[in-house]
Chains A and B, each alone.
Chain A
Amino acid sequence: MGILKGKTGFMGRTRESLAELQEIGQTTTRAGLGTLQRLTRTPVETRDTRVLLLPISRMEKALEPYAGSEVAARFPFTGSASGVAALFLTRDNALRLAELLLGSEQGSLKRLGELEQSTIAETTNIALNGCLNALSSRDGVHFKPDVPESARSVKDLGAFLRPPGGEAHVVVVETPFSEPTRGVEGSMVLVLGVD
């Protein structure tokens, strides 16, 4: 039983690693939701944030619900870690989010044109950069994000989320969110490559 209670050694180091992962998850979630809230000027909540540490080969399976997502946007980043920040929505939720951010009447938007897709891409840019900024509050940590791009129907989830640095493992922070005034639901996913 001593091995489970020790502060040093194997379990001590494991607990430190788990605490670090938990900290990354909480920091990212808090920042992402806070930034989304400032953007929408409405409450934004989360249900269950997941933090995963996986070999890259298992990432696609672990995030299977997002395969074939109707609407998504992403931007890759480099710096202290390379990774991908992404937002996933159903088509209906994307329309509702666009209506909210464009100040349109609920139900008025019927199609995702250039402006609406740009709205989703920019939401990804702003909210997920908020997450990266929060992680950057640690000494020496910095990220360099690239231009966001939107996608209609994610065909290859693995390629969509693969960090540009080609790392063998990833930390994934998955934050489902909901915005109650317009009933918008979606998920923010942050993938950090781990050497």
Chain B
Amino acid sequence: MARVLIVDDSAFMRHVLRGIIEEAGHEVVDEAKTGEEAVGLYKKHRPDLVTLDLVMPGEGGQAALQAILKEDPDARVIVVSAVGQRPDVDGAIETGAADFLVKPFEKETVVATIDRLLTAVDTRG
């Protein structure tokens, strides 16, 4: 079971992701609406995984990603974006995001992405 922090300014997306993650048997430790909030909650909870929306008001997802990775270089962050934001996704992967999800996503894709990252962690020991 993974402990997941959801970061998204959209209440709808937080609701959808929480539903998928909890149905898959994982725990949502908290939700952040902004990048600034995300960094504080990451430090507090040290989740196994973070789902992070790239386009958010204020600092935005890219800045939050950098701050989280600075806090914990081993942080596993899945960036989330709408279709067409590929340059932002590529930038995030270059920065150190572990994987990405493109909206609208299938429940199975989210679960498979989380499972893949958890397996990679286990393999690393």
Q: Which residues of A contact B (CB under 8 A)?
A: 35, 38-39, 101-102, 114-115, 118-119, 121-122, 125-126, 129-130, 132-133, 136, 142-143, 145-148
Q: Annotate B37-69 by CB proximity to A: 1 below 8 A, 0 otherwise.
A: 000000000000000000111000000000000
Some 22 contacts from A to B, beta carbons below 8 A apart, are: A102-B15, A114-B11, A115-B15, A118-B10, A118-B13, A122-B10, A122-B12, A122-B13, A122-B103, A125-B10, A125-B82, A125-B103, A126-B82, A129-B83, A130-B82, A130-B83, A133-B84, A145-B85, A146-B55, A147-B9, A147-B55, A147-B57
Q: Which listed residue, B10, B11, B13, B85, touches A129 by the CB 8 Å rule?
A: B85
Residue from A118, A122, A146 whose CB has the most chain B CB atoms within 10 Å: A122
With A35-B104, A129-B82, A147-B55 in contact, do A142 and B87 touch (Cβ < 8 Å)? Answer: yes
Chain B residues whose CB sits within 8 angstroms of the CB of A119 once the complex forms: 12
Give the distance to chain A from B3, nearest Cβ to Cβ, in Å: 24
What is the CA–CA distance of A142 and B85 in the complex, to the nearest angstrom? 9
Chain A residues whose CB sits within 8 angstroms of the CB of B57 once the complex forms: 147
Give the distance to chain B from A129, nearest Cβ to Cβ, in Å: 4
Pairwise interchain contact A145-B84, C-beta atoms closer than 8 A: yes
Q: How many A-B residue pairs have CB under 8 A?
A: 53
User: Contact residue range for chain B?
Assistant: 10 to 19
Kindly list 20 other residue pairs between chains A and B, CB separation below 8 angstroms, not including A122-B103, A125-B82, A147-B9. Answer: A35-B83, A38-B104, A39-B104, A115-B15, A118-B10, A118-B13, A121-B10, A125-B10, A126-B82, A126-B103, A126-B104, A129-B83, A129-B84, A130-B82, A132-B84, A133-B83, A142-B87, A143-B84, A147-B55, A148-B10
Closest to A102 in B: B15
Chain A residues whose CB sits within 8 angstroms of the CB of B56 once the complex forms: 147
What is the CA–CA distance of A80 and B55 in the complex, to the nearest angstrom? 19
What is the CA–CA distance of A148 and B103 in the complex, to the nearest angstrom? 14
What is the CA–CA distance of A118 and B103 in the complex, to the nearest angstrom? 15
